[in-house]
Amino acid sequence: MAKQWLAQGFPVGIPTETVYGLAANIFDAKAIASVYEAKRRPSFNPLIVHLRDVAAIGDMAVWDGLSNTLATAFMPGPFTLLLPKKDNVPDMVTAGSTKVAVRVPSHPLVGSLLRMTGFPLAAPSANPSGYVSPTSAKHVLDGLGGRIPYILDGGPCQVGLESTIVEVIDRSIVLHREGAIDRAAIEAATGIAPMLKSGTEVHAPGQTKSHYATATPLLKGDVAALMASMGAESNFAIITFYREYPHWAGSRQFRLSPGGKLEEAAQNLFATLRRVDAMGFDYILVEDFPDQGIGIAINDRLERARHEHKIG
């Protein structure tokens, strides 16, 4: 079914190991326009091209040796490379940029879909622009149901956070978005410590504030201190890594991984944010995560979701 809808030029919700995507044939301008339209995504924000294997990247983009080393180490998987694009990649997909973001997802369902369709799939995360990314088919339905004809259900996403995005510039590695493939893994594979993108050049427009945001104001920091700063009558919930606050109602606290596993916390993060967001609290208070492994990416997403609003 997913294959037929895609071949007919409709956008389709697809599972990947990171988050669900909203996919369309990269060569079908109308289908790509429907992706932007369904998400209400600004047309200047480019889409990642999903390919069946690493060999297919050469049809879309120009390789360099270091990017190739990175691809060999991390693809298929939760990893995206920004490369100079070839002429056959439509400008609409890259929003006019001369670079294209390419990714080879490891989820078996999207792998077989890519082999069956025969064309690459441009896919942003399948959420209305600005909201929390979806990690289940139900999340896609909640956000985009009625705007898209079909969602391929591949179960809950294994990773739960969007892919790591990197770009090789000269002989250095620029990290545009933190993800499951962390800095340490990149350095171990290449011998080069990645540099965090400087704030001066916006290579990835999605990397601005007000992304991944809940409707409920989200505050991040030391949860005990934040709780102490809240007014007596304020109605809030807390989200923690593994800690329990025995003096706080169990129905208002959510632990992402009672066993203290960062991978599990990442898997549960977006589903928990969505669930708590729907419960009508005035505030969501979230703990700082350890700055290691995927904890770095968890903190990154929460920093982007947090509201600038300060408690007086």
Chain positions contacting Mg ion, by CB under 5 A: 125
CB-nearest residue to ligand TXA: 206
> What is the greatest pairwise CA distance in the chain?
61
Calpha distance 98→262 (Å, rounded): 36
Calpha distance 304→250 (Å, rounded): 27
Question: Is residue 6 near ligand TXA by the rule CB under 6 A?
Answer: no
- Cα–chain center distance at 271: 13
Least distance (Å) from ligand TXA to the CB of residue 277?
Answer: 18
Q: In a 3-state reduction of DSSP, which class is residue 134?
A: coil
Q: Which stretch binds ligand TXA (CB under 6 A): 203-211, 229-237, 265-273, 276-284?
A: 203-211
Question: Is residue 103 near ligand TXA by the rule CB under 6 A?
Answer: yes
Q: Could you tell me the two tokens for 37?
A: 């339209």
Least distance (Å) from ligand TXA to the CB of residue 206?
Answer: 2
Q: How many CA atoms lie within 13 A of 86 on its CB side?
A: 11
End-to-end CA separation in angstroms for the chain? 53
Least distance (Å) from Mg ion to the CB of residue 127?
Answer: 6
By beta-carbon proximity to ligand TXA, the closer residue of 111 and 221 is 111
Question: Is residue 107 near ligand TXA by the rule CB under 6 A?
Answer: no
| Binds ligand TXA by CB under 6 A, chosen from 6, 113, 162, 239 | 162
Question: Is residue 101 near ligand TXA by the rule CB under 6 A?
Answer: yes
285 binds, among ligand TXA, Mg ion, none (CB under 5 to 8 A by kind): none
Least distance (Å) from ligand TXA to the CB of residue 56?
Answer: 15
Calpha distance 236→216 (Å, rounded): 10
Question: Is residue 284 near ligand TXA by the rule CB under 6 A?
Answer: no
Closest CA to 195 of 163, 166, 152: 166
Question: Is residue 213 near ligand TXA by the rule CB under 6 A?
Answer: no
Least distance (Å) from ligand TXA to the CB of residue 39?
Answer: 9
Question: Is residue 143 near ligand TXA by the rule CB under 6 A?
Answer: no
Question: Is residue 163 near ligand TXA by the rule CB under 6 A?
Answer: yes
By beta-carbon proximity to ligand TXA, the closer residue of 56 and 204 is 204
Question: Is residue 206 near ligand TXA by the rule CB under 6 A?
Answer: yes
By beta-carbon proximity to ligand TXA, the closer residue of 16 and 34 is 16
Question: Is residue 94 near ligand TXA by the rule CB under 6 A?
Answer: yes
Least distance (Å) from ligand TXA to the CB of residue 217?
Answer: 23
Give the type of residue at 42.
P
Q: Exposed e or buried b for every residue in 72-88, given b needs 16+ CB within 10 A?
A: eebbbbbbbbbbebeee
Residue 65 CB partners (closer than 8 Å, separation 6+)? none
Q: How many CA atoms lie within 13 A of 170 on its CB side?
A: 2
Question: Is residue 182 near ligand TXA by the rule CB under 6 A?
Answer: no
Calpha distance 301→127 (Å, rounded): 15
DSSP state of 251: G
Rounded to 5 degrees, φ, ψ at 259 are: -85, 0
Least distance (Å) from ligand TXA to the CB of residue 204?
Answer: 4
Contact positions with ligand TXA (CB under 6 A) in 24-63 = 45-48
Rounded to 5 degrees, φ, ψ at 248 are: -115, 140
Site residues (CB under 6 A) for ligand TXA?
A: 16, 18-19, 21, 45-48, 80, 82, 94, 97, 99-101, 103, 123-125, 162-163, 165, 203-207
